[in-house]
Amino acid sequence: MSNPNIEKNALFKLSYGMYVLTAEDEGKDNGCIINTCIQVAEDPTTVVIAVNKGGFTHDMIAKTKKFNVSVLDESTPMEVFEHFGFQSGKNVNKFESPVYGAKKSENGIYYLSEHINAYLSGYVTEMIDLGTHTLFIATVVKAQKLADTAGATYDFYSKNIKPAPSPKAKGWVCKICGYVYEGEELPADFICPWCKHPASDFEKLV
Ligand SMILES: Cc1cc2nc3c(=O)[nH]c(=O)nc-3n(C[C@H](O)[C@H](O)[C@H](O)COP(=O)(O)O)c2cc1C
């Protein structure tokens, strides 16, 4: 439900990093893009991740309680966001062929070794239901730096990686991922098929 007191453009001023969140369950590997991972405590070293309940990675982590986070750097091409963020492991095997130097860490879960500067492995200690998302609170069991490159922030992704919509495109564009809905009116309950964000994150193309 949209709240007139909440300007979406104010929330876009928050800073985020960009990550590939990976999981493994009964031999099945999967991963998705998230921008919501922060360290929240030092001892024990604790991070939180917020994951949309509609995603397959969400269900895998809720079941297995473990995950890896690969920290994307500024060299990351759009294909990485498309591969992990615009399709679901419910329909495709994102690790069918070797992707972006994927390697398994000690917990049996893939992390990427290309376009990332670090990865960490988390073990979930608490799950909080936040409506659209689950907040997973996790103890970090491994963290390794892989490069000195600058991490890609959400702002960097928006300005330098995400392609601008074609000047010929008509309709509504998702401000998060660039998906274009072709149509005069965007349904109020529309959910972006690529990144799962709601209609309020779309703007009309003029
Ligand atoms: C730029 C970008 C940021 C995203 N941030 C998040 C996020 O913070 N949390 C989340 O659950 N999904 C996020 N997504 C959406 C998921 O990556 C997407 O829905 C993915 O297809 C889910 O795949 P899965 O079903 O295999 O888990 C983001 C996608 C993009 C492109």
Distance (Å, whole) CA 122 – CA 180:
35
Please identify, by atom number, the ligand 1 atom nearest to the C-alpha of residue 57.
27
Give mean pLDDT, residues 138-161: 96
pLDDT 10s digits, 81-109: 999 999 999 999 999 998 999 999 999 99
CATH topology for the 163-206 domain: Rubrerythrin, domain 2 (2.20.28)
Count other Cβ atoms within 10 Å, centred on residue 16: 16
- The share of the chain scoring above pLDDT 90, in percent, equals 79
> Which region among 30-39, 71-80, 107-116, 159-168 has the lowest average model confidence (pLDDT)?
159-168
Under the banding of pLDDT at 50, 70 and 90, the label for residue 178 is confident
Give mean pLDDT, residues 23-38: 97
Give mean pLDDT, residues 164-187: 88
What are the structure tokens assigned to 172, written together?
Answer: 């509504």
Which residue, judged by its Cα, is nearest atom 4 of ligand 1?
34
Class of domain 15-156: mainly beta
Please compute Rg for the chain using Cα positions.
17
Please state the domain extents for the chain: 15-156, 163-206
Ligand 1 site residues (CB inside 6 A) read: 30, 32-36, 50-52, 55-57, 81, 85-90, 157, 176-177, 195-196
Give mean pLDDT, residues 179-185: 90
What pLDDT was estimated at residue 191?
A: 92
Give mean pLDDT, residues 139-156: 97
What pLDDT was estimated at residue 166?
A: 80
Report the chain's mean pLDDT, rounded to a whole number: 94
**How many residues make up the chain in this entry?**
206
What are the structure tokens assigned to 196, written together?
Answer: 């799962």
Q: How far is the CA of 49 from the centre of ligand 1 (A)?
A: 12
> Which region among 74-78, 109-113, 183-187 has the lowest average model confidence (pLDDT)?
183-187
What pLDDT was estimated at residue 1?
A: 56
Question: Are 100 and 112 in contact, with CB atoms under 8 Å apart?
Answer: yes
Q: How far is the CA of 204 from the centre of ligand 1 (A)?
A: 22
For residue 78, the Cα-to-chain-centroid distance in whole angstroms is 13
What are the structure tokens assigned to 178, written together?
Answer: 């660039």
Has this prediction a pTM greater than 0.85?
yes
Mutational test site, ligand 1, from 35, 60, 179, max ligand atoms within 8 Å of CB? 35
Which residue, judged by its Cα, is nearest atom 7 of ligand 1?
34
